[in-house]
A = this chain, B = another copy of it.
Amino acid sequence: MTTDSKRPLTLRDVSEATGVSEMTVSRVLRNRGDVSEKTRTKVLSAAKELGYVPNKIAGALASNRVNLVAVIIPSLSNMVFPEVLTGINKVLENTELQPVVGVTDYQPEKEEKVLYEMLSWRPSGVIIAGLEHTDAARAMLSSAGIPVVEIMDTDGKPVDAMVGISHRRAGREMAKAILKAGYRHIGFMGTKMPLDHRARKRFEGFTEVLAKEGVEIEDREFYSGGSALAKGREMTQAMLARSPELDFLYYSNDMIGAGGLLYLQEQGVSVPGQIGLAGFNGVELLQGLPRQLATMDACRLEIGRKAAEIIAAQLEDPEAVIEKHVTLTPTISYGDTLKRR
């Protein structure tokens, strides 16, 4: 066992304890170069005995290599980004790379700051949510000299690579399905988030298709904060009180949609006959509700996975030819709240 000393141990300590040079100790600890089995075991056991923990700070400075991938996301609190992280982890686990995550709370200035902080650790790559950044952030990304993958959204021009879905198209597809099912009086509910560009793009795609058919959103409501399930319930109640003629409610996420669905069931409203519903995200969590909300999968796991693969591949071989624009295609699940025609 170790005695608790003030100063962390260094290579030198291990070197002195074994009589082996620092350099060879370093080689053993990193599995680099040829070392005789004898010294190898001697060093290894001494390092363990002493409780030596390598100093990556020094190692990174000397080797100019940092096996960190900066992952920058807007939020941890809605299940979509944790799932992306899971996908990233799955891939990076098989490499030397380690993800480090930063959270921006959907604020561009905070994103800029977080990015700056992370870049100052000289990571080997960056995965960052969205295509919209401040000019300064974009400049940092492009001059960092490392692979950058912008994820979630593909409606726009990336700094380097991008992996995601087209949210505009997602909105369009859902609008088509709704119109095809015969609904014509549509209400919309979503977050009060001018900075959630993906939600905005879905909305734009959605209204675009409606407009082509001469249909307009007849009522809308936005919320912020609080339990999404409860908000969906409240907003649905309020909207239907206000606009009883509506025959479809489009929610910008599954949680508020589920709240609406629960409310309508309690009221004995027939879904999808009297009113149809749809959300967005394909939240696994909601399986288990009495009825399944129509939704669209956002391919979160796959996005994380693919993004990590791009970073890993590019670091492995900087010359490799890699597909830098990956657009995944989400599928609609009709569930029990959207008529199928």
Contact = CB atoms under 8 A, between A and B. Distances in A.
A74 interface: no
A288 B232 contact: yes
A120 to B, nearest CB: 4
Nearest to A116: B53
A215 interface: no
A101 B89 CA distance: 13
A31 interface: no
Contacts of A7: 145
Interface in A43-78: 51, 53-58, 60-61, 66, 76-77
B286 A262 contact: no
A6 B289 CA distance: 53
A60 B66 CA distance: 14
Interface of A: 1-8, 51, 53-58, 60-61, 66, 76-77, 79, 82-83, 85-86, 89, 98, 100-101, 103, 116-117, 119-122, 139-140, 142-145, 226-233, 255, 259, 262, 266, 284-290
Contacts of A259: 288
Given A101-B101, A122-B8, A51 B288 contact: no
- What are the nearest 5 A-B pairs in CB distance? A229-B288, A230-B288, A227-B287, A76-B82, A56-B120
B287 A229 contact: yes
A141 to B, nearest CB: 10
Contacts of A60: 57
Contacts of A289: 229, 262
B288 A53 contact: no
A260 to B, nearest CB: 10
B227 A120 contact: no
Contacts of A1: 139
Interface centre among A145, A228, A255, A288 (most CB of B within 10 A): A288
Given A2-B143, A56-B120, A262 B288 contact: yes
A143 B77 contact: no
A103 B121 CA distance: 20
B119 A103 contact: no
Interface centre among A51, A76, A139, A290 (most CB of B within 10 A): A76
A285 B117 contact: no
A58 B56 contact: no
Contacts of A83: 77
Given A55-B120, A227-B285, A229-B289, 8 more contacts: A53-B116, A53-B140, A53-B144, A76-B85, A76-B86, A77-B82, A227-B287, A228-B285
A103 B120 contact: no
A133 B57 CA distance: 26
Contacts of A58: 61
A66 B61 CA distance: 14
A301 to B, nearest CB: 11
A217 to B, nearest CB: 24
Contacts of A288: 227-233, 259, 262
